[in-house]
Chain A
Amino acid sequence: AQSVTQLDSQVPVFEEAPVELRCNYSSSVSVYLFWYVQYPNQGLQLLLKYLSGSTLVKGINGFEAEFNKSQTSFHLRKPSVHISDTAEYFCASNSGGSNYKLTFGKGTLLTVNP
């Protein structure tokens, strides 16, 4: 069975600082990777996705992630965070199949302080 590990449950940073949220996945023949963001009391919003092609993926709100097959990682980065980036971030993977279930990590709470 697939697994996704988010190494940090909480990441506090100051405004305008860079941030990296770490995600590792279990190896599979093919894997599709996603980052979602969840603001309080809202549903999940897709930030970015890796399906194939370039290993550097750019998403919304200035976020990007790099797919690293040898390290089975898909870390999320932003060079300068804002207060409004405070939210829970989820990494997820999908290995295909007819039901297309996603395997989610447990989430990382990013708190941006002034």
Chain B
Amino acid sequence: SQTIHQWPATLVQPVGSPLSLECTVEGTSNPNLYWYRQAAGRGLQLLFYSVGIGQISSEVPQNLSASRPQDRQFILSSKKLLLSDSGFYLCAWSGYATGGPFEQFFGPGTRLTVL
């Protein structure tokens, strides 16, 4: 079966500090990978998606970036955090392993607080 991991689970960072959030998927190959953000009391905002190693598409221009150094690894980064970067960050994957590429499966999330 497939599993998706995210770490850390919670993070408190000062404004202006760097960020690195990691997501890994097990039990499947060549998944599509996604990063979302949920601000308090708001819906899901798609930040980045990737259909393969080194292939990143950005949905919202901002001070965040994403990388996919390995097939099942997706990293969200920032060089300098802003207060507005606070939120709940979710990683998700989709693929043919479950019979179709359409639904996405989500990780447990990372709660980021920027002070």
Contacts and interface: CB of A to CB of B under 8 A. Distances in A.
* Contact residues of B: prevailing secondary structure: strand
A101 B108 CA distance: 19
A44 B103 CA distance: 12
Given A100-B94, A104-B44, A106-B43, A43 B107 contact: yes
A41 B111 contact: yes
Chain B contact patch, size range: 20 to 34
Contacts of B109: 41-43
Contacts of A55: none
B90 A99 contact: no
Interface string A28-65: 00001010100001111110010100000000000000
B32 interface: yes
A51 B43 contact: no
Chain A contact patch, size range: 20 to 34
Contacts of B34: 101
* Contact residues of A: prevailing secondary structure: loop
Contacts of A41: 88, 109, 111
Residue of B46, B94, B104, B111 most packed against chain A (CB within 10 A): B104
A27 to B, nearest CB: 18
A18 interface: no
Interface string B46-68: 10010100000100000000000
Contact of A32 (B32, B51, B102): B102
22 contacts: A32-B102, A32-B103, A34-B103, A41-B111, A42-B108, A42-B109, A43-B107, A44-B90, A44-B92, A46-B103, A49-B102, A51-B100, A96-B102, A100-B94, A100-B101, A100-B102, A101-B34, A101-B49, A102-B46, A104-B44, A105-B43, A106-B43
